[in-house]
Amino acid sequence: MKLVFATHNQNKLKEIQKLLPPFINLVSLTDLGCLEPIPETADTLKGNAKLKADYVYKTYQLPCFADDTGLLVDALNGAPGVYSARYAGEENDANANMDKLLTNLKDKADRSASFKTVIALNLDNHTLFFKGSVKGEITKVKNGKNGFGYDPIFKPEGFDKTFAELPLKVKNQIGHRGKAFSKLISYLNTQHVRP
């Protein structure tokens, strides 16, 4: 089955490919030649995921899923949240985003946070949602070279290493995205979706 993952992010694509069963031929927006920006104008993760999945389904007539992920920091009333990728500006610069977050938390004792992912799957013009989350805390300095985004400053609950220090396999098992995608994959298998 050809399934579109509504992303240009090759890191995310590789992460998800490792989780998918072999009968799914996963393609990205880049593979489709979809280079126009897809608006993410909703004020929730669920809303943004649906906007992206619907756009691809209507434009290319292919089943599609899109995800939106946010980092919600308790001491900042849930910020950066839906604006996580653009927290420090429209450039989506991960280092600038981390630097801004670390600066905003400098005088805060409470560093608890959670990552949340919402996936919208559009099959036959019908949308289903799958969610995953993981609790943890924001470290005071960046650690690790794996992963992407805020991974170098997010330490998941029960671990003494950041997401960027953990092996990808471990991150997929305990992480927000891995949990949400496990639900998506279980659904696809249960529905016996085949080529």
Three-state SS letters, the chain: CEEEECCCCHHHHHHHHCCCCCCCEEEEHHHHCCCCCCCCCCCCHHHHHHHHHHHHHHHHCCCEEEEEEEEEEHHHCCCEECCHHHCCCCCCCHHHHHHHHHHHCCCCCCCEEEEEEEEEEEECCEEEEEEEEEEEEECCCCCCCCCCCCHHHEEECCCCCCCCCCCHHHHHHHCHHHHHHHHHHHHHHHCCCCC
Examine the residue annotation and report whether 68 is marked as an active-site residue of this protein. yes
Catalytic position from the list 54, 67, 68, 151: 68
What does the pLDDT profile of the chain (195 residues) look like in tens digits?
889 999 988 877 877 777 777 888 899 999 999 998 888 899 999 999 999 999 999 999 999 999 999 999 999 999 999 999 999 998 889 999 999 999 999 999 999 999 999 999 998 879 999 999 999 999 999 999 988 899 999 999 999 999 999 998 899 889 998 899 889 988 877 765 544
Please tell me the CATH code under which domain 2-190 is placed.
Answer: 3.90.950.10
